[in-house]
Amino acid sequence: MNLFRKKSLGQVHPGLNRHLRLWDLIILGIGAMVGTGIFTITGTATANLAGPALIISIVIAAFCVGLSALFFAEFASRIPSTGGAYSYLYAIFGEFPAWIAGWLTVMEFMTAVSGVASGWAAYFKGLLANLGWRLPTALNGTFDPAAGTYVDLLPILVMVLVTALVLMNAKAVLRFNSLLVLLKFSALALFILVGIFHLNPGNWGNFAPYGFGEIYGGQTGIMAGASLMFFAFLGFESISMAVDEIKEPQKNVPRGIVLSLLITTVLYILVTLVLTGMVPFKNLNVDDAVAFALRQVGAGWAGNYVSLVAILTLITVCISMTFALSRMIYSLARDGLLPKAMKQLDPKTRIPKNATLVAGLMAAIAGGVFPLASIASFLNICTLAYLVMLAFALLKLRKEHGAPGPGEFKTPLVPVLPILSIVVCVSFMTQYSLSTWLAFGVALLIGIGIYFGYGYRHSEEHK
C-alpha cells in the first residue's frame, strides 16, 4: 500500500475556463475575509478577550495568516493547480497527507459558509423582529427539541440562493460579488467617517485590560484575541482554489493573495480602533457591534444603513466560500478521491455543477441544524492544522527542488519564516477547548475512513 504516491509538480488540468483577472481575485479574497469577523467578532472579542488591544491581536493574526499567504503564493506560482494546500501537498508529501489537508479544507469552508449563513440569518431575524414578523418556533432555531426548535430555516434559504448564484457563469457571479463588496466598503467607510467625529480617547485608557495572555493554552488576553481573530482572515486561500480559472496564475495568484490580505488587515485595524474609541469596550459584547456603536453616539441613521448593508453583503462571504468549497470538492473528485460525479462540468458554463450542489447542500444542513457557538473554533483548528502541514511542505519543496525560478514568487527568509509559522499556528491551536479538539479528532477520523473506504482504491494515481 503506497500512501505517499505523488503527482508531478505543475501538473495542469484543462477543462475550466480561464477568465479571472487580478482585480477579480482581489475582490474574491476581500469578499471572503471581510464579513462576519468585522461586523460581529470585533465587538465580542474586544469585550471578552482583549479590550482595545484587539488591534494588536489583529496584527498578530494577520502576521500568522501573512506567513501562510507567502507560502501559498510561492506554491501557487510553482504548482499552479486547483485545490490549494491539497494540491501542493500532493506534489510534495504524497496522496494521504494531501487528502488530510484537502479534507480539513472542506471542513473549513463548509463550516465557514454555514457559520456566515447563520450570522446572516441572525441579522435578518432582527430586521424581521423590528417589523413585527417572526417565523414559527419550530423553524426558527437549530435542533433543540427541548426549546421547541428543530431547524433554522433562514440559513437554508440563503444557501439555496447562494448555490443558485454560484451555479451561474463564474464571471457573472463574481461581478455580482464585486458589487456587493463595494457596497460593504461603503458601509465601513461611513462608519469610520462618522466614528472619527465621536471618538473619546478616554475609552483607550485601559488599553489592555486582559493583558497579553499566554503563548500556549491561554483563555483571555491579546493572544486569545489573536486566535479568535484568525477566523476573520480565513478565505484568503479561496483565491488559490480557482487557479485553473485565472489568467496568468503564476503572477496573479500571489499578487491577489498578498494585496487582498493587506487591504483587509488595514480595514480591520481602522474599524477596531474607531469602534473602541467610540464606545467603552465592555459595552461591545453584542452581535452587531458596528451598528450598535453608531446608535450609541446618536447616529442611528448610519447604524441602520450598516445593518442593512451587513444583511446584504454577508452574502458575499457565502458566495466566495461556496465558490472555493465547490472547487475543492471538484479537485478531490478529479483525482479520484471522491466519486467521479463530483468532477462533472456543465457543458455550457464549465462550472463543476454537482460539486457546487453538494457544497451548498452540506453548508445548508450544517447551518440549519447545528448551533453557531463552536463553529469559529472548529473552523480555526482545522485551518491551522493544514497550515502547519503547508509550512513543512515548503521546507521540503526548497530542499528537494531548490529556490523558485525566474518569474516565480519567492518566500523570503526560508527556513526561518516556515518554522516561525509552525510555532505561531501551534500556539493558536492550544488556545482552544477540549470540546473543539474532540470535534477536530472526530472530523479527522471520518476523513481517514473516507480515504481508506473509497479514495485509495479509486485514486487516479492508483490506476
Which position has the higher pLDDT, 316 or 385?
385
**Residue from 374, 283, 290 nearest 47 by CA:** 283
Does residue 16 form part of some domain? no
Cell of 90: 500532493
Q: Judge whether 14 lies within some domain.
A: no
With beta carbons less than 8 A apart as the criterion, state whether 283 and 137 touch: no
Burial class (CB within 10 angstroms; exposed 0-12, middle 13-18, buried 19+) of 227: buried
pLDDT at 97: 95
Give residue 42's domain range: 22-462
Give percent above pLDDT 70 in the chain.
Answer: 87
Q: What is the mean pLDDT of residues 163-176?
A: 74
Predicted local distance difference test score (pLDDT) of residue 135: 79
In whole angstroms, what is the distance from residue 454 CA to residue 451 CA?
A: 5
DSSP-derived secondary structure for 269-314 = HHHHHHHHHHS-GGG--STTHHHHHHHHTT-HHHHHHHHHHHHHHH
Q: How far apart are alpha carbons 463 and 456 in whole angstroms?
A: 10
Q: Nine-digit cell at 235?
A: 478565505
Encode pLDDT of 369-393 as tens digits.
766 555 777 888 999 999 999 999 9
Predicted confidence (pLDDT) per residue in 59-92, tens digit: 999 888 888 888 988 887 788 666 678 888 998 9
130 pLDDT band, cuts 50/70/90, is: low
The count of structural domains within the chain is 1
- How many residues belong to the chain? 463
User: Is 1 part of a structural domain of the chain?
Assistant: no
Residue type at 96 in one-letter notation: F
Cβ–Cβ under 8 Å, residues 9 and 401:
yes
Q: Which amino acid is at 357?
A: L
| Inside any domain, residue 35 | yes
Per DSSP, the residues of 196-232 read GGG--GGGGSS--TT-S--SSS-SSSHHHHHHHHGGG
Give dist(CA 87, CA 424) in Å, integer. Answer: 24
Quick check: 213 and 60 in contact, CB under 8 A?
Answer: no
**pLDDT tens readout for residues 235-259:** 677 666 555 666 776 677 778 888 8
C-alpha cell at 185: 466598503
- The CA–CA distances, whole Å, from 316 to 176, 309, 313, 331, 428 equal 9, 11, 5, 23, 27
**Given pLDDT bands bounded at 50, 70 and 90, which one contains residue 230?**
confident
Q: What is the CA radius of gyration of the chain?
A: 21
Residue 136: asked if its preceding bond is cis (omega within 30°), the reply is: no
Tell me what pLDDT residue 382 has.
Answer: 92
Place of cell 484537502: 102
pLDDT on residue 245: 65
Residue 9 has pLDDT above 80, yes or no: no
Higher pLDDT, 176 or 292: 292
Q: Write out pLDDT tens, residues 189-204.
A: 999 999 999 999 999 9
Residue given cell 457565502 in the structure block: 318
The CATH number linked to 194 is 1.20.1740.10
What is Dmax (Cα atoms) for the chain? Answer: 67
Let me know if residue 312 belongs to a domain.
yes
CB 458 within 8 A of CB 336: yes
437 pLDDT more than 60: yes
Task: Please name which of 230, 372, 271 lies closest in space to residue 222, comparing C-alpha atoms.
Answer: 230
Per-state percent for the chain, helix, strand, coil, to nearest 5: 70, 0, 25
Mean model confidence pLDDT for the chain: 83
- 140 three-state secondary structure: strand
**Residue-by-residue DSSP string for 68-118:** HHHHHHHHHHHS--TTTHHHHHHHHT-HHHHHHHHHHHHHHHHHHHHHHHH
Q: What would the mean pLDDT of 97-106 be, rounded to a whole number?
A: 94
**Is 10 a member of any domain?**
no
- As a whole number of angstroms, the distance between CA 171 and CA 24 comes to 9
The pLDDT of residue 182: 82
Beta bridge partners of 418: none
| pLDDT surpasses 60 at 12 | no
C-alpha 56/C-alpha 98 separation (Å) is 34
Q: Does residue 104 lie in a domain region?
A: yes
What does the pLDDT look like over 15-37, one tens digit per residue?
555 667 777 777 777 877 777 67
Q: Which residues of 251-278 are buried (b: 16+ CB within 10 A; e: fewer)?
A: bbbbbbbbbbbebbbebbbbbbbbbbbb
Q: Please give the pLDDT value at position 93.
A: 94
The x, y and z cell numbers of residue 306, run together, are 450598516
CA pair distance 38, 44, nearest whole angstrom: 11
pLDDT in tens, 419-433: 999 998 998 888 788
Q: What is the number of alpha carbons within 13 Å of residue 38 lying toward its C-beta?
A: 32
β-sheet bridge partners, residue 140: 152
Distance CA 379, CA 358 (A): 19
pLDDT at 240: 63
Please compute, for residue 68, the number of CA atoms within 13 A of its CA located in the half-sphere on the CB side. 28
Residue 432's pLDDT is: 81
Q: Is residue 48, in this structure, part of any structural domain at all?
A: yes
